[in-house]
Amino acid sequence: MANPNRRPNSLHSSYSEAMQAAFFDLDKTVIAKASVAAFGPTLYRQGLISRRILIRVAVAQLIFLQLGADHNRLEKMRRSLLTLTRGWERDKVERIVRETLTQVVEPIIYREALELIEEHQAAGRRVVIISSSPEEIVKPLAEFLGADDAIATRASLDADGRYTGELEFYAYGHAKAEAMQAAAKEHGIDLSESYAYSDSHTDVPMLEAVGHPVAVNPDKELMREARAHKWPIVQFLHPMPLRDQKVRKRMRLATGLIGASVLGASGLAVGYWRLNRKTRLVSDHLRRLGL
């Protein structure tokens, strides 16, 4: 049940009867790198790309991090990837991604994004990862993050399950917004009460599709759009492996149990005070982010 004392923009704002959702872009929003580039070394070790291509991927990653991704740059990258992957076996690519997901992606997940995902799920919202990256990367990563669904680019396959070099669906620009609208219709989601997070101005249609858009690590163009529309602007700065977060949670739980058994009622009182203090700190952090 929603807390009536919460501010209207709180993640715990009152529910409408329809389901709410939170849509997260992936690259530079949930993770600190371009997901395709992050798997470059793995694909090289598996013999799918050459050293020359690996270097080109590294350069493209540097440009992406420094300058963002405009339409022309993304189109050039898309055409190059389609040419590169023609003939690859889809099942092999997906298997490689799943087998190396923890090693490749876990160290570059933003802690702030994880906290927001947990907040939205605690509030009963459907969490969706939506990305122009291939579904062979996005879907396993969404499962890894505990998201409810994923929307991603789908490549065309031949009869043998190999990439043809064409696309069935490109999750980019207005197509993202259209996919969100289709998901909303399928699952009964009220987009006017839902949230969306992205770093790129190419995702303005995605942000405009919801009632609560948030610019995360925005590029210059999105920064201008966000300021013009008075959208919240936040910075995610702290990649933190999920493993570290789980270990910390277990340590906190163990500490609380030991304290309770040794100190009895007074220990419980101290633990209760610390829990409330932590809750206030998290709430203050979210308010500073404008949420």
Q: Which positions are catalytic?
A: 25, 27
Cβ proximity of 20 and 189 under 8 Å: yes
DSSP label at residue 15: P
Nearest Cα to Cα of residue 41 among 53, 26, 30: 53
Beta bridge partners, 150, equal 129
**Helix%, strand%, coil% for the chain, nearest 5:** 55, 15, 25
CA distances (Å), origin 97, targets 42, 141, 235: 9, 9, 28
Token pair in block for residue 188: 């009964």
Token pair in block for residue 124: 């009963």
